Amino acid sequence: MIKMSLIRSSQIFGLSISMFISMIGFCYLITKWYKITCAKLGLTGIPKKGTNLNKTLYHQLIKIDFITQVDRTLACAFDCSVSHITLISGEVVKINYKLKNKSNNYLVSEAVYNITPFVASKYFNKLQCFCYNKMIISPYTNIVLPLVFYIDPNINFDDSTKNIKELTLTYTLNNMGKW
């Protein structure tokens, strides 16, 4: 014969409270475990601790010359606010280019850039750029075109680029036809 025992409501209440407290404790511990695991694996933006990069910090000064060219069919003035700068690899720099439409017509143009020596171009990183965008320039209008960039510090560790001390950044403004 099976003997049935009666469960009192106070026992159910006690069991429910202990399960609730256990679940809160588990949630607290799982978040701590998640943060520790992510820190060890370098996930979710938490940096790895105790990582040895085996690279010494090496800051190399790099001179950058700025050159501008304009398609002969455009009645524009296109210049950089500076002719050259010297920066440290990894440093974020903002340079302004100035564009002026000298005609009474709307002009459609596009700027393209080139880095020399070409082998260093993979280390040139643009954060904000006006290149490869078609621009419609109103008659007799002045426009400021910002360029924000940095040179990747890994340029110092690549055998083909570690001795480069000077780069030339050339922007060419092309005529894309009339509007």
Q: What is the chain written as a DSSP string?
A: -PPP-PPPHHHHHHHHHHHHHHHHHHHHHHHHHHHHHHHHHT-TTPPPSS----------EEEEEEEEEE-TT--EEEEES-SEEEEETT--EEEEEEEEE-SSS-EEEEEEEEEESGGGGGGEEEEE--TT--EEE-TT-EEEEEEEEEE-GGGGT-TTTTT--EEEEEEEEEEEEE-
The residue type at 94: K
Q: State the pLDDT at residue 43.
A: 62
Q: State the pLDDT at residue 51.
A: 47
First to last CA, the chain: 97
As a whole number of angstroms, the distance between CA 171 and CA 81 comes to 13
Q: Which of 178, 171, 140, 177 is nearest to 69 (CA)?
A: 171
* Residue 116, Cβ density class (10 Å: 0-12 exposed, 13-18 middle, ≥19 buried): middle
Q: State the pLDDT at residue 58.
A: 63
Phi, psi for residue 12 in degrees, rounded to 5: -65, -45
Output the tens digit of pLDDT for each of the chain's 179 residues: 566 677 778 888 888 899 989 888 888 888 788 777 767 766 655 455 544 444 555 678 899 999 999 999 889 999 999 999 999 988 999 999 999 999 998 989 999 999 999 999 899 999 998 888 888 989 999 999 999 999 998 888 888 988 899 999 999 999 987 65
Q: State the pLDDT at residue 52.
A: 46
Q: Which of 79, 156, 171 is nearest to 126 (CA)?
A: 171
